[in-house]
Amino acid sequence: MINLDENLNLEKGYTIKDLPLSERPREKLEKYGVKSLSNAELIAVIIRTGHGEDTALDLANKLLSIDRSGISYLSHAEIAELTQVKGIGLCKAAQIQAAIELGKRIAGNMGDEKIKVDSPQVVVELLMEDMRYLKKEYFKTLILDTKNQIISIENISVGNLNASIVHPREVFNIAIRKSANAVILVHNHPSGDPTPSTEDINITHRLIDAGNIIGIKVLDHIIIGDNKYISFKQRNII
């Protein structure tokens, strides 16, 4: 015999309110703290509501399933990519992007205290999460003072690394204006493999030579991969 009540529940769809209070993301956050939430639950809190028969938690899991890298993919996903998921409109996509960008800014905020670079690991901890998932090559310079403290981090170019894009003029123009004592070169490999190419090595030596002429040292060149890196200084490439 068919249970009419059960049949009606199936037709109206399943909502977060059908979950026990202890398992609802917002209530769980309030009771146990934000660290108790899974990635999907955090996203559900951000987007707040579901769509049709999908709860906010269902939509969150669909977002995490877009790419096998899961939450990492979302850190650089565009609005158009997010809205490909049924139930994620412009508003929800914007909420997700805003939350991710806010997290990046908080993580990258150096505050009033300058960061001293005394090892490649300092640079890696500063830039890894921001650069490891980029789909294009980004070339940056860390501008350092006489104590090897970071004055600023500058974007030099976007695109495949080659001599026509990364010119000494572009690298050292900013360094001179900011009275740099030294610079550290950083770029990412979208493939995730930080192994330097011949072009990477040639450009590095060209920039070192240019720096020596104008009196600004190139201390290192760090290539960021997917949760791994290579320091030219550590590998004795320079």
Handedness of CA 188, 189, 192, 193 (dihedral sign): negative
* Contact (CB, 8 A) for 64 and 39: yes
Which of 81, 108, 135 is where one domain is finished? Answer: 108
Query: How many domains does the chain divide into?
Result: 2
Q: Is residue 238 part of a domain?
A: no
Residue 1 confidence class, pLDDT cut points 50, 70, 90: very low
Residue bearing the bigger pLDDT, 60 or 20: 60
Q: Quick check: 219 pLDDT over 60? A: yes
Same domain, 79 and 48: yes
Contacts of 161 (CB under 8 A, 6+ apart): 137, 139, 187, 197, 199, 200, 203
Q: Give, in order, the Cα–Cα distances in Å from 192 to each of 113, 128, 188, 227.
A: 32, 11, 8, 8
Residue-level pLDDT at 22: 57
Structure tokens at 207: 């920039």
Residue-level pLDDT at 74: 84
Taking alpha carbons only, the member of 13, 21, 12 closest to residue 55 is 13
DSSP 8-state class, residue 200: H
Residue-level pLDDT at 130: 82
10-29 mean pLDDT: 65
Same domain, 184 and 227: yes
Residue ranges making up the domain that contains 186: 120-231
Q: What percent of the chain has pLDDT over 70?
A: 85
Query: What element of type H or E holds 56?
Result: helix 56-64
Residue range 56-111, pLDDT digits in tens: 999 999 999 888 777 778 878 889 999 999 999 999 999 999 998 888 777 666 55
Which of 108, 134, 155 is where one domain is finished? Answer: 108
Residue range 2-14, pLDDT digits in tens: 444 434 343 344 4
Same domain, 86 and 157: no
Dihedral of the alpha carbons of 169, 193, 85, 106, in degrees to the nearest 10 = -60
Residue 140 confidence class, pLDDT cut points 50, 70, 90: very high
Supply the CATH number for residue 147's domain.
Answer: 3.40.140.10
Same domain, 139 and 77: no
Structure tokens at 11: 């037709």
Same domain, 97 and 161: no
DSSP 8-state class, residue 180: -
Residue range 145-203, pLDDT digits in tens: 999 999 988 888 887 766 546 788 888 998 999 999 999 999 999 999 999 999 999 99
State the pTM of this model.
0.60
Same domain, 124 and 227: yes
Same domain, 60 and 28: yes
